[in-house]
């Protein structure tokens, strides 16, 4: 091969390699990796098939959330009802607290929480709880009868609602 052809081949090879590198550019790498918020340390007992514990009416619920979130983006709902939250910055995490509304006494409620990370992704979590009908009926008093003062129709509705929740919990565990 002549020197001229060898030089052309070398220049062409280098140009082809550079073009390949340019097409491998990924814009996502520059944006940074977004970590979804992590929700931990929920203080109320979660209701499930093995653990049919009720919480006191109007209990205060608390949980922690990772510190890479925008604190003003935190939302907490109980059975679709927005709760007023108190957010406390603990440097490495945020402690969030809220109070269950009296309208949920004697009912099942799903606590849904969500928050936006500073880099844009959203995190969500939730817990199912059973709220006692009155302060006297608590998980620490298993012998208490939750049907005291209820009509037969109210007891039937509660039984159906409890069976539905148990079926959902069992299906979720499978």
Class (C level, CATH) for 39-143: mainly beta
Give the pairing of strands 54-55 and 122-131. Answer: parallel
The number of helices, as runs of H, and strands, as runs of E, in the chain is 3, 9
Q: Where are the domains of the chain?
A: 39-143
Q: How high is the pLDDT of residue 5?
A: 74
Q: How high is the pLDDT of residue 24?
A: 56
Q: Which residues of the chain have pLDDT under 50?
A: 137-144
Q: How far is CA 67 from the centre of its chain?
A: 15
Cα(66)–Cα(93) distance, rounded to whole angstroms?
5
What DSSP string runs through 50-116?
Answer: S--PEEPTTPEEEEEEESSB-GGG-EEEETTEE--EEEEE-SSEEEEEEE--GGGTTSEEEEEEEEE
Q: How high is the pLDDT of residue 21?
A: 59
């Amino acid at each position: 091969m002549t020197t001229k052809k060898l030089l052309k081949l070398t220049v062409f090879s280098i140009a082809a390699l550079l073009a390949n590198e340019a097409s491998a550019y990924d814009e996502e790498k520059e944006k940074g990796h977004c970590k979804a918020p992590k929700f931990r340390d929920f203080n109320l007992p979660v209701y499930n098939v093995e653990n049919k514990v009720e919480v006191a009416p109007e209990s205060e619920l608390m949980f922690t959330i990772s510190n890479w979130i925008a604190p003003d983006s935190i939302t907490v709902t109980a059975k679709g009802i927005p709760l007023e939250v108190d957010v406390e910055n603990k440097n490495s995490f945020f402690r969030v607290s809220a109070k269950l509304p009296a309208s949920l006494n004697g009912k099942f409620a799903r606590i849904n929480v969500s928050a936006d990370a500073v880099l844009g992704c959203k995190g969500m979590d939730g817990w199912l709880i059973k709220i006692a009908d009155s302060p006297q009926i608590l998980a620490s008093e298993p012998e208490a009868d939750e049907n005291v003062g209820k009509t037969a129709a109210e007891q039937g509705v509660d039984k159906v609602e409890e069976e539905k929740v148990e079926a959902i919990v069992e299906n979720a565990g499978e």
